[in-house]
Amino acid sequence: MSAITIASPASGMSLRGVFGAYAAEARSECLRYLRSPGFLLPVTLFPTMFYVLFGIVMNRNADAATARYLLASYSVFGVMSPGLFGFGVSLAMERENGLLTLKRALPMPPGAYLLGKMLMAMLAAGVVIVLLLALAVGFAHVQVSAMQALALLATGMFGVLPFCALGMLVGALVKGQGAPGVINIIYLPMSFLSGLWIPLSMLPTVLQRIAPVWPSAHLHLIALQALGVRHTGIGLHGAVLLAYTAVFFLLAARRLRRLG
């Protein structure tokens, strides 16, 4: 039984039982993280402090377009964290302490374990976006319409999925103690190289050319579109993010299937 198999009624559980198992596991996963401030506080406070310092205080005289650009940039920076750390660090630790092996032995669809983590990451990403929107509108007086706010929220909650898959791959490859360091080595340089801290136009040409390699760069363009900063099609960028999600997920699933 693999860590990503999704149970069906043919596996001995009724359809109602399968849905009930998924719902119970998702609920327990959410409650577990809500009761763990060591996870939620850094995930929510780290990007908000960055945004307050660099997006509001240091750019308090920015024009409307620049203010929305900064909001989009730090929103993407914020939603990367729940996916990378929520999956990467927790999965690595749970593999190491045997919890993943125990989960496989339980009479439940193994896919429910991953679905619960995914839903928690999406909820955490939504919280980050709401906090940043509140700071942007309340303190920086950024002009954001209701539709733009909803578009940014949807972008963040669904945009976290490629980083969930990347975090899952890291968690499948790295031991628990080493996972935070590896995640940070991925998280921070990727944020910089995607133009989240400094616009790509201000980076060396070679870094501008390789920016499309990073999934965060594509999510950044979608977030800018959501806030009306840029008007480019999002279809290609969405397809790239879906491809990243599928590739990372399949690689992680193969690793978990072979070695646990």
Residue 98 sits in which domain range? 12-259
**Residue 144 placed within a domain:** yes
**Residue 233 placed within a domain:** yes
Alpha-carbon torsion, ordered 25, 30, 32, 35, to 10 deg? -160
Type and span of the H or E element at 184: helix 179-193
Give Cβ neighbours of residue 241 (< 8 Å, ≥ 6 apart): 159, 161, 162, 215, 218, 219, 222
**Residue 3 placed within a domain:** no
pTM for this prediction: 0.87
**Residue 2 placed within a domain:** no
**Concatenated DSSP letters for 58-111?**
TTTT--HHHHHHHHHHHHHHHHHHHHIIIIIIHHHHHHHTTHHHHHHHSSS-TH
- Give how many domains the chain has, as a whole number: 1
Q: What per-residue confidence (pLDDT) applies to 80?
A: 95
Digitized pLDDT (tens) for each residue of the chain, 260 residues in all? 444 444 444 455 677 767 777 777 777 777 777 777 666 778 888 889 999 999 899 888 888 889 999 999 999 999 999 999 888 888 888 787 776 666 666 666 666 777 888 888 898 999 999 999 999 999 989 999 999 999 999 999 999 999 999 999 998 888 878 888 999 999 999 999 999 998 998 999 999 999 999 999 999 999 999 998 987 778 999 999 999 999 999 998 888 777 65
**Residue 140 placed within a domain:** yes
**Residue 231 placed within a domain:** yes
Type of residue at 134: A
**Residue 250 placed within a domain:** yes
**Residue 5 placed within a domain:** no
